[in-house]
Amino acid sequence: MAAQGLDDGLRAPFPASWGSHLKATLLLGLPLIGAQLAQMSINVTNTVLIGRLGPVELAAAVLTSQTFYVFWMFGSGFAYAVMPMAASANGRGDTRAVRRSVRMGLWVVGAYSAVVMVPLWFTRDIFVALGQDPRVAELGGHYMRILQWSMLPYLATFVLRSYLSALERPRAVLLITVVGALLNGVANYGLIFGNFGLPALGLTGSGIASGTTSIFIFAALVAYTRSVSALAPYDLWRRFHLPDWEAFREVARLGWPIGATIVAEVGLFTAASVMMGWIGTVELAAHGIALQLASISFMIPLGLSSAATVRVGSAYGRGNAADVARAARVAMMVAIGIALFAALLFWAVPERLIGLYLDLGQADAGRVLATAIPLLAVAAAFQLIDAAQVAANGVLRGLKDTRTPMLIAVGSYWAVGMPIAYTLAFPFGWAGVGVWWGLAAGLLVAAVSMTARYLHRERSGQIAAAPEPFSP
């Protein structure tokens, strides 16, 4: 592929041009952005279709899905850990180390999936203990016992995504994820409502459809990695059954802080939703719309963050500090530049964007619109901040620096963002806008701290050489 050919040219000891880095970042980043959006569409499709079953089914599905994804997001940290390991190994031309990191990444997520099957199996009892409606708990528990079988294929899929991204082959990831999203929509539509001659299974049908989709996407990626001749030197599936405990421990060491960082940020926004619910139903609805728009926009810098991990990791593996610095700056500038465009859109036409989610003929729609507009204005401001922090985090992952960014994230979100959000919303009386400014404050501290962390490493010469390859 073009990006691979370009990267081959970057193996020289002198830095590649800024234009070369920009081209490579976009060639890698754009398909990854598309894959993120396609993955997000799977969740949106499930929610929309289940919502047609009724409020009890929708409540059960939302509660169960959120529980599933908390466990899934922590586990995804191990999958993301494979990306800098494989990129660094590929940068120094060590195909064996690439194979070892990916293979043990699959082992780690397999072990993690087996462990979390136990608490997920007792989801109904957990919901009851937390005081949820018995009908919601019953439906949610049954739904989880189907949905939980998707954990392993989804996490394994992300390991293979990290592998292909590290080799700068993201287009296959995009294509397969898009096909999987279409399959998910058709399967949900058929199995939930009994279309296409299939049985009408309701919530159970959605769980089966999701599981089928997860297996399809993983199987397609396995088939791709086994059949493409350019991947033959990596020989990914050779002696897959043999353990490699050094690589296993490295994946686990890098991965758990990444998972904790993701959960910390998601937890911040979940807590913000709880506080919005304390303020009022209209405010919570407005918050949901603004958050959905911000989340869609966030998929772009999130995809570029993965590109930053690969570009920086590859240069780090080559021991080329100048290329590390240029790859890092290009990724951060592109992420912030695209976020600026999204921010301008949020500021310019908030009514049109929010109106996509509302039937303005309904009684409270006008109040929701009026409440959501200032929230979207704050969201526009923190698009830039959020893009900066996720790009900086991606750069640090490329340097295999995950524990300190985790501490920064937890401290920024929970020791800064959450107290400010509560104080502005309630003692100061700013209500929903106060909650959102608190979120922005936490993200700002994270962005500044992570960027400062990278610059410190750069100035102190800690980006000049990667760790030695795994010993045989």
DSSP secondary structure letters along 385-442: HHHHHHHHHHHHHHTT--HHHHHHHHIIIIIIIHHHHHHHHTTS--HHHHHHHHHHHH
Q: Is 470 contained in some domain?
A: no
Q: Of residues 292 and 464, which shows the higher confidence score?
A: 292
pLDDT of 129 higher than 70: yes
Q: Is 317 contained in some domain?
A: yes
Give the structural domain span for 453: 2-459
Q: Is 42 exposed, middle or buried (CB count within 10 Å of its CB: 0-12, 13-18, 19+)?
A: buried
Average pLDDT over residues 178-207: 95
DSSP secondary structure letters along 333-380: HHHHHHHHHHHHHHHH-HHHHHHTT--TTSTTHHHHHHHHHHHHHHHH
Average pLDDT over residues 225-245: 92
**Would you state the structure tokens that stand for residue 213, as one six-digit string?**
């989709």
pLDDT of 299 higher than 90: no
Average pLDDT over residues 237-249: 92
- Report which of 265, 301, 310 is spatially closest to residue 21, judged by C-alpha positions: 310
Give the span between the Cα atoms of 313 and 463, in whole angstroms.
10
pTM of the model: 0.88
Number of neighbouring beta carbons within 10 Å of residue 248: 18
CA dihedral sign of residues 143, 145, 151, 152: negative
DSSP secondary structure letters along 308-321: HHHHHHHHHHHT-H
Q: Is 471 contained in some domain?
A: no
Share of the chain above pLDDT 90, in %: 68
Contact 25, 288 (CB under 8 A): no
**Tokens 């990191």 sit at which residue?**
101
pLDDT of 388 higher than 50: yes
Q: Is 253 contained in some domain?
A: yes
Contact 251, 105 (CB under 8 A): yes
Give the span between the Cα atoms of 368 and 355, in whole angstroms.
10
Q: Of residues 472 and 113, which shows the higher confidence score?
A: 113
Please tell me the least confidently modeled range out of 4-13, 336-345, 369-378, 447-456: 4-13
pLDDT of 2 higher than 80: no
pLDDT of 452 higher than 90: yes
Average pLDDT over residues 365-374: 90
Give pLDDT, residue 31: 94
Give pLDDT, residue 471: 43
Number of folded domains in the chain?
A: 1
* 468 band by pLDDT with thresholds 50, 70 and 90: low
pLDDT of 1 higher than 80: no
Contact 225, 76 (CB under 8 A): no
Q: Is 464 contained in some domain?
A: no
Q: Give per-residue pLDDT as tens, 45-104.
A: 887 788 778 878 877 887 888 889 889 999 999 999 999 999 999 999 999 999 999 999
**Would you state the structure tokens that stand for residue 300, as one six-digit string?**
């772009």
Give pLDDT, residue 437: 96
CA-to-CA dists, residue 255 to 3, 59, 76, 148, angstroms: 26, 32, 8, 21
Q: Is 468 contained in some domain?
A: no
Q: Give per-residue pLDDT as tens, 3-62.
A: 444 444 444 456 788 989 999 999 999 999 999 899 888 888 887 788 778 878 877 887
Q: Give per-residue pLDDT as tens, 326-338.
A: 999 999 999 999 8
Residues whose CB falls within 8 Å of the CB of residue 94, separated by 6 or more in sequence, listed in order = 317, 469
The pLDDT mean for the chain works out to 90
